[in-house]
């Protein structure tokens, strides 16, 4: 049985849709996702369960949660009713249009108990969002009395050296700051190399023999991340470091059937070796000689099951994580 008895702090993914296709996004968000957004009923259920598990504060992210300012108010209202504090809302500033409209949104957020916006400041986002929007939103927050959590100020000077009226590709940054700039970003940002972020950095990663990965296999402990888990708009628990896996929070709170979520359970209890044995035996997966580590092997098996075989597996959700 897969069960969670206690959670401390995590995030709410209100939607997966985003205006950008950032190369560092571990959730693989993009404009191709559906317009689905967390409903008031789902938010109420999620916050109620979180509080029962000892989690009293969360942050909100996406996708881009402020693509639908009207929808986020229902989520905030549900949090307030369940006495859940919102630490901050993550935003990429793409929705900023002008001072008047943004001020109206900020005032509504404050009225629902939000006091801080985490505003993304990095070259990955700058590929899609001109820096003037980021600057303007920070200024609007200052005027509205909304605190700003800048993520990350270390990149401000790099981005500010470019024309802030338009987006800039990572190739432009490499031309300006050197060909090792992608590795500089990785070190400064502290990226979770999953999803699209893994695809971006995989060519730069050292290869390991398949047998070495199996010999070093240990349980992944997907349920141990009680400080930075996420719950998505469908009510699914997403492990701290592994998007693309999910189990409904309501099931985990009462004890989820380990047979229903065999891949998740195998990784949790046995590790990558167990997943390989399952994939080879039941789905005729053929491993390669080398991988860029155990996560590459894991993703290769998951992509094989979801994209090549087209299987609808309960624990490998959402499918679009693998598509985009």
Note the pLDDT of residue 241: 86
Note the pLDDT of residue 124: 99
Q: Where are the domains of the chain?
A: 9-204, 211-224+255-319
- Mean pLDDT of the 56-77 span: 98
Note the pLDDT of residue 101: 98
pLDDT digits (tens, 9 = 90+) for 93-103: 999 999 999 99
Note the pLDDT of residue 257: 97
- Mean pLDDT of the 49-53 span: 98
pLDDT digits (tens, 9 = 90+) for 139-150: 999 999 999 999
Note the pLDDT of residue 120: 99
Half-sphere exposure of 205 (CA within 13 A, CB side): 18
Note the pLDDT of residue 70: 95
Note the pLDDT of residue 209: 99
CB-based contact 124:96 (threshold 8 Å): no
The CB density around residue 179, as the number of other CB atoms within 10 Å, is 8
**pLDDT(46) > 90:** yes
Phi/psi of residue 264, nearest 5 degrees: -55, -50
Note the pLDDT of residue 53: 98
pLDDT digits (tens, 9 = 90+) for 261-294: 999 999 999 999 999 999 999 999 999 999 999 9
CATH node for 9-204: 3.20.20
- Mean pLDDT of the 169-195 span: 96
CA distances from 105 to 52, 102, 146, 227, 240 (A): 31, 5, 11, 29, 30
Quickly state the pLDDT bin for 19 (edges 50, 70, 90). very high
Quickly state the pLDDT bin for 317 (edges 50, 70, 90). very high
**pLDDT(229) > 90:** yes
């Amino acid at each position: 049985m897969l069960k969670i008895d206690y959670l401390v702090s995590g995030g709410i993914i209100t939607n997966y849709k985003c205006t950008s296709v950032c190369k560092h996004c571990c959730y693989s968000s993009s404009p191709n996702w559906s317009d689905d957004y967390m409903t008031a009923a789902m938010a109420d259920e999620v916050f109620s369960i979180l509080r029962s598990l000892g989690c009293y504060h969360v942050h909100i992210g996406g996708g881009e949660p402020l693509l639908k300012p009207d929808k986020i108010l229902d989520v905030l209202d549900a949090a307030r009713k369940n006495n859940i504090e919102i630490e901050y809302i993550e935003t990429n500033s793409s929705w900023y249009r002008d001072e008047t409209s943004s001020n109206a949104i900020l005032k509504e957020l404050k009225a629902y108990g939000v006091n801080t916006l985490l505003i993304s400041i990095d070259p990955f986002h700058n590929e899609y969002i001109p820096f003037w929007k980021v600057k303007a939103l920070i200024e609007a927050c200052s005027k509205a009395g909304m605190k700003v959590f800048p993520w990350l100020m270390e990149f401000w000077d790099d981005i500010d050296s470019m024309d802030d009226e338009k987006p800039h590709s990572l190739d432009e940054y490499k031309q300006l700051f050197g060909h090792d700039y992608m590795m500089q970003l990785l070190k400064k940002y502290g990226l979770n190399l999953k999803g699209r972020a893994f695809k971006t950095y995989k060519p730069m990663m050292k290869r390991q023999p398949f047998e070495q990965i199996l010999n070093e296999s240990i349980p992944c402990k997907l349920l141990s991340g009680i400080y930075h888990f996420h719950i998505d708009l469908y009510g699914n628990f997403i492990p701290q470091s592994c998007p693309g896996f999910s189990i409904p929070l309501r099931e985990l709170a009462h004890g989820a059937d380990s047979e229903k979520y065999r891949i998740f359970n195998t990784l949790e209890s046995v590790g990558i070796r167990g997943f390989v044995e399952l994939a080879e035996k039941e789905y005729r997966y053929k491993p390669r000689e080398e991988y860029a580590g155990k996560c590459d092997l894991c993703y290769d098996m998951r992509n094989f099951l979801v994209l090549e075989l087209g299987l609808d597996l309960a624990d490998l959700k959402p499918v679009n994580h693998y598509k985009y």
